[in-house]
Structure 1
């Protein structure tokens, strides 16, 4: 990263940097070492930071700083967030260098406080990413559907993406761990159903993904699964010991 880019080391540092000047435009680069497209975009980000010195350019490792990534609902990397103070001006999903350059130029290089219009922003995820049920579900109907999904097999992983194409590093890691342990499991891509995505957080009282379910009950996320593998508890839980 260029010297003009500040690497964020903690949520506290992140909040402090954003709060120093609420009129300043901040450009946040969410990246991860496992994602090849991030390498090229990190270079582009560094060049923009040097060119537009009036802005605050922050680099956030989405895996190491998962709390920050979750707070911005980062689903995949690279992703870029443009703020003025705490106000969202734009969002770029993916390795779209022209869109990032254009958005930075329009916001950092001018004094305007007007947020970008929808046409100026990078394209959002297609509406089909979050298909709504044909009829609005009641809370009771949603809970019944969630419990059905959680019980569709002995081990169910609610993740971002699929085992073949994980959409975040945490999902990629937990899939690898389960495969290494020879665990048979089914998956559900929570990015395809917003009702499931939000509903499961409330039902299981667990705010992040992935979520591993065994015998219809939440076991936990990546850290819990890693710990259970280390002490042998995962195998005994699956086998019902």
Structure 2
């Protein structure tokens, strides 16, 4: 589907908090990592559904700055899963014209994973189809703090006049500076909170909280939510004409 043929009213950018992997596994008597593996497989289906839904940008919340609080075994398993996912999916993503970007603080991630992330971004930099952004070691407050630090450094160095700092300035320093703000944010698993995800960017996003656990979240449900979005009236603080 070309951009000209996208469904009327489709969200250009959808962000997803992929929640419920652990509970999905535990309900089946399996370890939590089994659920994360199932959730990783689900990502491909949703990425592939984006063109037909008219979605140009998909951002997924893979690992938060708070997730380091989980058990050492689960964190180690997740980091291994990220390395496996990137290695396994890189060629398919490139061949399907998917451009991949990562957001978040990479410093705490191991060097092998950082290298794989860099390689995947470079491999898909020419792609012009779906834009997939993976939030890895990401937190909204951490992102704003890092952006503010860089802004302050530019002010201190004389590269930025404090008088010129306004609402449009900070976004240029955010991890998402190359992305449009999300139109729709989806959270699976029945939880109704945003968990420190895209705090600045989602100020006027529409939200959908669904009960489905992420490994059970299908392309059909994704399509239904994007279609429902098209019937919403977004006023950005104004009143209907």
Structure 2 length normalisation: TM-score?
0.29
Larger radius of gyration: 1
Q: Which protein is richer in strand relative to its size?
A: 1
Structure 1 length normalisation: TM-score?
0.29
